[in-house]
Structure 1
């Protein structure tokens, strides 16, 4: 053994005592040269592997391992030798002379000559068969699980990583041992650094979603502590949720389409009555909060039943589409809302619009429909016309707390409907506004 002194320099009793300790220890002591061949082994090898020391000398540790295990451990040991570093806790399966498997935990230190050149390794093997199989099984599970797993130290070095993690980072197992997350993912490493700070302060570490190379990962870091309860690293799981996120986005898009369908009238493409009810309530609340007037125009196509009877329902549908398009195209403001109220009726909500302003807009709507020059032989004018009723809410008073908003909305539309019928009774093709002022106070008193 290269122990710094020639054996002849030691008293016979000391050498005998030392050899007795080595040969009868529970652990197997050995030395290998730079090529990994045994140059000295203690007698414990016979107990562990069933071979005499003389048989082992000149052979390598991998000669006593099953083929797959020899390849795995050989790759790990080659990396250790390349770095000329000490190692410990290298768990490996070995085949005894009688064919049984024994699990050893190997540790070793490098040996150098006077020129500083690596001459081999001195180490020790411990029988951990009772525990080793379980350890190897856990290592296999850790390494082969499809979920990316890794352990980071305080410097961001990849202390451990499985195949999935190496694939995520696009590195080999050999490269993983010298991999620092800060070099590969600087922004992500900054987040993990904050996790270390939170863990040291006793705060909870939260998971986060990380986008890496166009993939989305759900990461869950867990702090690792030493015996002194100091944070020494993070164990991190990386679950690829890209497919789930894509599915959620598709679902969100589908829900958005469904919501649009729920809000829109299928025939005209305008907002439907359900959406209009919600919109009107919101606009009333806004008008009351900001103390500005709110007007509505209730539009009805004149003699529409006669139009359907004379031209057919398909032409009636085309007529409704044409009227809807003309109403929307009447230079309304973005905040104005045009909806199909039902049948041949349409409702226009005009925020921040008083009675005179609403009358002017309603007259422009009527003229635009007349300008379509749609033939209507069953009408006294021989062309399509509309009648419009206008009602205005003057929110000059604060909203009474005991009056539901839908009551006020219903009352406002009722006033517009009353004005619409007045327009029809006066001969149609005209605009009528309620002469009196509608207010939150008057609605309250009417109720």
Structure 2
């Protein structure tokens, strides 16, 4: 929906917001009535638990969006600072990272590439480290060599967003060189929607998400999100973010234990309901606008695809290797470029058939695929096949050909071109790996794990056996990073991954969700719930014992000598059972995550089941 069509906004039916209005009204009345009977201590405990839950959701959303920078950083380091097809990779990665609306590469601190470019073009050329456009958070990221998140700011291209800056260095040790920054744009308030901060307001709480000035002036607070209501002696919880900490402060709108007239409370509840209905109306407007933008993007994508196909058709005439074969399929001509592709001279190929350059199985497949085409004397295009380099290395090529006919229509042979696409296939395989595996541990990432969890839900539904989901967070991980650096932290994460895999069966799944969070899927326990609970508890206890064993991590000190760091670490584990599609994947993960935070609150290095499981 365009900005120039306000009539469409007016026509959005307010009745669509009525269910939200009625539901919010019912919740508000219930909360207001129950709050009268609660003590101040109970209210503060409830507020703190809610702040912890929403703070954890905010942290996950931010870390999930920020993790989009890691694949690009890996690609930059792999390519020694000059990655190829980085715009395509960034475009393909972006949809997999919820909350991330744009990715940018800034070699030497100057923004050179940003995806998507159309809506962010004004940013290209911005110098983040020097001159009038210098960004102190970018400088801070470079100087600390740490992923750093800015507070939400007004963007040059419009809108409000926080920007994650990941410094990238090439090489290691004394030869380590600063390459530049990889940035991810996190739109506000979009990234906070799934954290559902407005649920706090619906529950009768005011909230303020803020942080101190990064330069150390504690008198200066930067507001990130607020309900707009004043805070009265609030409960505050820390929300760790890369290279900093945000704070989420929460208090009841009417103060702690201060009873108000029931009529006034009802009026306040009505106001909240109206705000919720208005928010619903606004979200519906934004949804329709987004659908229109996506439609336009799809049309543009199709147009670009057609243009690319036309380009490929034209490019065939200048492919790497031009050839001709006779009616029996034997080479009668090969261009000189075959030497650079396969290391054969043109003379060496004369009299051979293309199938003699292929592995036996590939030759049979290609021969069968071409049989009908050759019989019909028809052209063929972009036949992908494997040929062997002179040294035996397999190469992937695209082959196109057209028949050579005499004046009477008799087939004399074929003329065509081969193009080497080996590097492209390898890059596509790398991209597939990035899409499904964690780049550090090579464990399944969130996307692959979600798919396996869906399969497990279906399987347990058929077998009637329970499965278990374990959500864990390492204790004392941040001090190791702060004292010894992220390289040592990465070594710890690798060792944790190996220990977890040794604690489960080969058919089970260990995944990393980012940071120091790991998730384990145990399938097919037992049909009896109590037995399954005991089995899951035993597995979780084995993991606790394994993870609590000392870690011996090797690093190189400042003088170039290898030293061993002994580190002791534990974990907090939340466990929940599942069977069939009794719940959704998202709800199941949330249940295990909540149990994990209960384990942390219980003193860490412990296991807690979801409340619904403990009640059994």
Q: TM-score normalised to the size of structure 1? A: 0.43
Q: RCO (CA 8 Å, sep 6+): is it higher in 1 or 2?
A: 2
TM-score if structure 2 supplies the norm length?
0.33
